[in-house]
Amino acid sequence: MNAIKKQQLQYVEVLKAKIIKRNAKVGVVGLGYVGLPLAVEKAKVGFEVIGFDRNAVRVGQVNRGENYIKDVNDDELRLLVEAEKITATTDFSWLGNVDAIIICVPTPLTITRDPDISYIVNVTNEIATYLKPGQLITLESTTYPGTTSEVILPKLEATGLKVGIDFFLAFSPERVDPGNLRYTTKNTSKVVGGTTASCLEVATMFYEQTIVNVVPVSSTAVAEMTKVFENTYRAVNIALVNEMMLLCDRMGIDIWEVVDAAGTKPFGIQTFYPGPGVGGHCIPIDPFYLTWKAREYDFHTRFIELAGEVNIQASYHVIHKVNKVLSNHRKSLNGAKILVVGVAYKNDIDDCRESPALKIIDLLLKENAQVSYHDDFVPEIKLCAPYTYAMSSVNLIDEVIASADCILITTKHSDVDYEYVVKHAQAVVDTRNACKNISADLKHKVTKI
């Protein structure tokens, strides 16, 4: 057996032994909606976890055992911190002290909707600085197919260490669904693609320690494409139902009734509901990563791009409906008081990333409307590009409701009494069918998109 093969087996076997015995040290880079729940799951089974984040406030919260992610149990985090199973730091030199590094950083779009992988690049540069033989590096951030092999791998191998021999590199996309009580980090199947066979072997074993079902695939590119396909599938189907919504609005047909009726078919259809657009950290972003990468191959993803256009148009349709409702009351959008109910991108969570409500508020402000909002899950909208406004949630009391010219429901939170809202409102535009079960004598106040 040659020296390289012996060295490869040495690092593989040593790391596998550490993983099986749960004494491998794990570094999680990025302590947000993906990173913190992942860190907790790893620590719960015995791994010592070090969280890395540039945000000193967030690091301080973790080290005090203060939870800021709804999907993480407060007591679990506190007990793990007290047991010194989880620590956090802004000092990236500690990367040299861990055996496995999981990258969970944001991958947003630029203002021109091109991929922004600067966070991945910056973290990779840090890892390369402190890379040591025998480490496993996995990327979980959603990105375009080829990122792991084309961006991360060259930077790591520039250190002189060889992938599959000296270190191990894999891609395993996060599949977090904030607020989902049924499917969590632990019981959501985990797709894993390795750069080499040994990389896949080590990464699969690593994730099997905390994930119920791990699904190995043949390459990092397949794993990357799997993630963008999943969310592109959702984006396209949401666009389809949103386009049906626009048509049904012209035809005077209730799209919600149509979708519910179609959903009774036990095969051949999956139910998607219309809305004011799409939001979250994946669905509005991932398809654009794929369309951008496709151009490199002289391929234009017309179907996907059209879906993006339709979903964006849905937000403008909401403005049209509000304007029409106000006009029916002999009022103008210019100067009208609009109370937006719900700004999170989905119900019963505190996440408003890419929320269509933010776009709609921006459009209303540009029409010189006087906008306020209520959302107990999101007490404050902070100033964040490309928007130029910030505001705080108002109390949903009868005086506030009655003073608004129009109530605009953009998120269907379960803690809102919609019967109460409609009762005190002058007019309501409902983008989520939240008022479906209100009293019949109040329904004349409600206009659905």
CB-based burial of residue 329 (10 Å sphere; 0-12 exposed, 13-18 middle, 19+ buried)? Answer: exposed
The whole-angstrom separation of Cα 377 and Cα 347 is 9
Give the span between the Cα atoms of 390 and 139, in whole angstroms: 33
Which residues, including other chains, have CB under 8 Å from residue 156's CB and lie 6 or more apart?
124, 127, 128, 131, 137, 163, 167, 169
State how far the Cα of 411 lies from the Cα of 92, in Å rounded to an integer: 39
282 is an active site residue: yes
Nearest to 126 by CA among 157, 155, 163: 155
Judged by phi (left if over 0) then psi (alpha if -120 to 50, else beta), residue 160 lies in left
Active-site annotation holder among 282, 352, 406, 435: 282
Residue closest to 206 by CA, chosen among 302, 296, 99:
99
Residues 291, 297, 298, 299, Cα dihedral to 10° = -40
Burial of 29 from C-beta contacts in 10 A (0-12 / 13-18 / 19+): buried
**CA 25 to the chain's CA centroid:** 27
- Name the residues annotated as catalytic: 282
